[in-house]
């Protein structure tokens, strides 16, 4: 896999993951899916960006890898890249510095 292909697949995985975990989707399709999943196990999976990224990266990893090990490594690498993109694009409102006191 070339670096360009990896970047494109990582962006696609991030977009799909963001759609399923943070957005309502066109015609509120994703909202309805999340509501039907409820507050149980699958509903909590759809609320977590990192959980959704693992499953969104799986088909990309299987598609790009040639051997079993490549498929596994691509799966984890694509999910990790999507998580890094989420960290880079998320604005946190907690701007207080952490409390530190010396003894």
How does pLDDT run along the chain (103 residues), one tens digit per residue?
788 999 999 999 999 998 888 888 788 888 888 788 777 777 777 778 888 899 999 999 999 988 999 999 999 999 999 999 998 888 776 666 677 788 7
Q: Is residue 24 part of a domain?
A: yes
pLDDT at 51: 87
pLDDT at 27: 87
Instruction: Tokens for 100, please give them.
Output: 């530190």
Sequence-distant (≥ 6) Cβ neighbours of residue 43 within 8 angstroms? 34, 37
Q: Is residue 100 part of a domain?
A: no
CA atoms of 4 and 9, how far apart (whole Å): 9
Rg of the chain on CA atoms, in Å: 17
pLDDT at 101: 81
If one counts the domains in the chain, the total is 1
Q: Is residue 21 part of a domain?
A: yes
pTM for this prediction: 0.77
**Residue 44's domain spans which residues?**
3-89
């Amino acid at each position: 896999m070339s670096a360009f292909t990896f970047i494109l697949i990582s962006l696609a995985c991030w977009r799909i993951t963001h759609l399923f975990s943070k957005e309502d989707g066109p015609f509120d399709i994703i909202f309805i899916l999340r509501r039907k999943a409820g507050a149980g196990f699958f509903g909590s999976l759809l609320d977590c960006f990192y959980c959704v990224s693992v499953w969104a990266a799986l088909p990309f990893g299987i598609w790009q890898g040639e051997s079993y090990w490549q498929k596994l490594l691509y799966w984890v690498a694509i999910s990790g890249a999507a998580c890094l993109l989420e960290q880079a694009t998320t604005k946190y409102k907690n701007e207080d510095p952490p409390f530190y006191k010396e003894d």
